[in-house]
Structure 1
Amino acid sequence: MTAEWWFKPSSEGSGLLWDWCGAPPPVYSLAPVRRTRSSEHNRHIPVTAFSTTTGGHLALESGLEHDLVRRLDRLSSVTWLVAQPVELRWTEPRKFRHVPDLLSTDAGGAVTLWDVRNPRRLDEKFTLQSDKTRSACAAVGWRYEVFTGLGEVERLNLLWLHGYRRRPSWQGGIEEAILATAAGRCVVLDDLFALDDGSGQAKSAVWHLVWNGTLQVDLESKLTGRTSVRITGDGTDG
């Protein structure tokens, strides 16, 4: 039942069997172990997504994977992401291979492998695959999670905030006033939007601070002017 771990330590290299003797794999330089592609026999719809965490593009295999990346990419606790990061191989009791969909690292050094699966496809085969992967991760001190999607409201909110990932050039000129207002009691988004002079700059700055986590709102509820907001100190901007 012991798994073999096959990585690509760089985009120029080939697959390498990692023996875990002495050191973990170089997660910050890993390349995908396979190329994403679509075909008449492949139900995946490849997606190329830019990641603010890595500063580059991730080749994803589905929109559901993109949903997961949108959730993780805005968190300051997430320090790295790799798509199709490893191929796990088993030879007993029968030959079996699996490529998890995503790898993430956090500020504490923890590594998580993610499998993405539509809830309608959580079948017996996937359960076996998931159990094997979870056991393999536990054996090397990594975490394992299964992502089955976002609620409709949270997904739409993240799609909206996705347009405000880049820090506006004018952010520094208005951010102090936004945070000072947000530090009050019972603050709602309309209180922050009232700082706008009609140019839209303050509003876009507010949305950027919501995206990066400096301002916290309930993303599982519809965002309106009456949405409560508070400072969390969980921003990603330096």
Structure 2
Amino acid sequence: MKFENALIVGSGPGLSASLARLFAANDIDVSLAARSTAKLIELCEETGATAVQCDASDEKDVERLFKTLAAQGKLPDLVVYNAGGYTRGPVTDLDLNAVRDTLKSTAFGALVVAQQAAKVMLDKGRGALLFTGASAGVKGYAQSAPFAMGKFALRGLCQSLARELAPSNIHVAHFVIDGCIYQPERGSPFDDLDTTLHAEEIAKTYFEIAKQDRSAWTWEVELRPFSENF
């Protein structure tokens, strides 16, 4: 499958930036959606991408995002949902408002974006929807209930979408990122080259999965560094 327009939701440094560079290098027009676009100025200059302000957990914002893309002639045939929230702590101490925000950005926002993207792709007769999950989506860790709830919901959403949309030539894939992504500016444990996943390598896998022939589609893949226990 060849792609013309890509949309990365939840854009920022790291994986989203690596995806934007890779897509642009393959002659795909890239749009970046984020709550704050100021952090995307340099990436846009580097890749030729367009940044659009959007809170993925707000359905009105997402509707505006897709209307903007339509007006620009950039409705996507490739969408990556990379947004999410994180809060943790003992269950007795959790801030329920923070938990609600985590669930909205990690799971509900994915559904909102998928709904708009599916309308576009069903009209086009093709497309790919890629979602960034985590090991928390297959095993719940202690004091990490909100993250597990959000990622479990995301995985369920992806499995359901894959079954619903595959017959319409829309490839849905869920990526279980099992480990820390290399971000040396954050210090340990994110600065160890041997125990972290490298964003540019993750991006390559995303793109290869997106391009799979429909006779052999993958709906889920796990990625982890060679040193990670599982």
Q: Which TM bucket (shorter chain)?
A: under 0.3
Instruction: Give the structure with the higher percent helix.
Output: 2
Instruction: Give the structure with the higher percent strand.
Output: 1
Greater RCO (Cα-Cα under 8 Å, separation 6 or more): 2
TM-score norm. by structure 2 comes to: 0.26
TM-score norm. by structure 1 comes to: 0.25
